[in-house]
Structure 1
Amino acid sequence: EMEDFFKLMPGIQAMEDVEEPPSTVPNKKRKLEETGKKGPPKGKGKGKRKQHRGQSARDFENSSDLRGLVKHLGHMVLRQAEALNRLEYDTCFLLMLETKPHPGTVIPSLFKVATSWRKQKEENPAALQQSLRQVMLTCLIREVQARAELTLKTPGAKKEAERLGFLEGEAWVYQTWDPEKQHNVRDTTRKPMPLVDFNAQAERMLKYVQGTGLTRFQALKTITSDLEGQQIPFLLDVSLRDSYLHDVLLAWTQLSVFSLVGGRIRRSRIKQSQQQEQLYRMLRNL
């Protein structure tokens, strides 16, 4: 199944022209079991409950406690939102991908992959064994691996990667933002990652992606084939039932190898949403 999508990724195709890689498609794919929950049994006295709810609503409408109730519910919602923010700090990562004119952008290729997947879903849904998020992330990681291999095998590309500060010998460095220089610089606090280590992590990570480890991989902006001059953020949510996927993404934050596709990975930040800030203001004015 994945071979059809890999054909849409330029780096993967270029690597296949150099040498045919071993098949990465697993022999057996897990079948997801769908479970459903039955609703509670219907009881008697339905009319009485309706009358009770209606009476309660009239009592609140005629009571000065309605404002207090709204404030109480609002504060409960905000506490839940803050708890979710803290949870996302542990489970959520952001993948930022550049669009054109960045020479390495993969946004058009990912758009083709998504379009092809949706077409297959309409025409032959039984043939699809993986969700769209699994297919897109797999294609992206394979593309990064292919471009990294090609960079090391091509003297000119390797020299350019070293000039840009992405590569040190056979290892990919970590970068951090320098506010004074206004560009990324080498992060000397983190040891560069050899390509062999990155590939080993990627292979194991993709096995977790095929299971239940990846809970969300979603663009926060609509992607098209002709986007220009933008950064497209993708949310990467992982399950904490097994920490490996989280540990790998943590090790990949600010790793320069993703610059080959115009990307970088960073952790999610604890930040209030616009809806939270608006709710705060509304509650203060009550």
Structure 2
Amino acid sequence: MTKRLTGKRVLLYACVLLVTLWTLAPIYFLIITSLKQYVGTITYPLSWLPTPFTWNNFGVMFTKYTQDSISYRFLHALMNSLIASSSTTILNLVFGSAAAYVLSRAKIRGKNAITMIFLASNLLPTVALIIPFYVLTVTYLNGLNLYDTNTLLVIVYSSFSLGLVIWIMRGYFDSIPLELEEAARVDGATRMVSLVRIILPLTAPGILATGLLTFLTSWDNFVLPLVLAPDSSAYNLPFFIYSLNGQYLHLNNEIAAGGLLSAIPPVLIVLFFGRYIVSGMTAGAVKG
């Protein structure tokens, strides 16, 4: 019996080790490529060490700040990503929380079905809605000049993640007893005051979780900016990294450096707030 358990444990550890190596190998390859000179990325066989070594791949992202330089395009794409992701997060939290509160507290027939419809909208693949969004923007809404703007990206990002925000936040609102609001109204507080001062503080874990999740999903989006905002004035970090891949010259070292720099914000968020994201989503789903 002990030998059988030991054998199963060894097999389990071996599987875990293989999965870990499979996951970390591309990350390691990305790191060493970002630390190589260009000649080191085109030699065969490829070296698993960063030789010849250089920091210049990261330096070009922040130096020689002139029009059309790599540093100018990188910082411009970084600003676009921050604006689009932050705006999407704020809009989703405001409108998603408001909709979730109404679905939780108001006496609406079929509100459970409405919530599931919102959630089902998140199940639709992005590629299935790109063409409808494109046609709607350039044909029927052409007069608004939304194409190739951060405004359009924020609207589209919000439409993809709003359903999840409503679903999680409604679970939190449902878990809060109505007696708390009724007691506040007896003391003279309006519904808005009780919402802001009592209900929202109690749902802070859900707000944090949905806000961070919305930011992450908006940050690394590539397909939507590629189709809806391909001009250099609105492209984000993933699109900028893609643009480094020229027709005849592939700067793999600079592409790897750009990829690592763009991954820093999501990695930091997961490292410092990952447990809040998991606990917030789990609590909201269970309570709902």
The TM-score bracket by the shorter chain reads: under 0.3
TM-score by length of 1: 0.24
TM score, norm. by length of structure 2:
0.24
Identify, as 1 or 2, the structure richer in strand.
Answer: 1
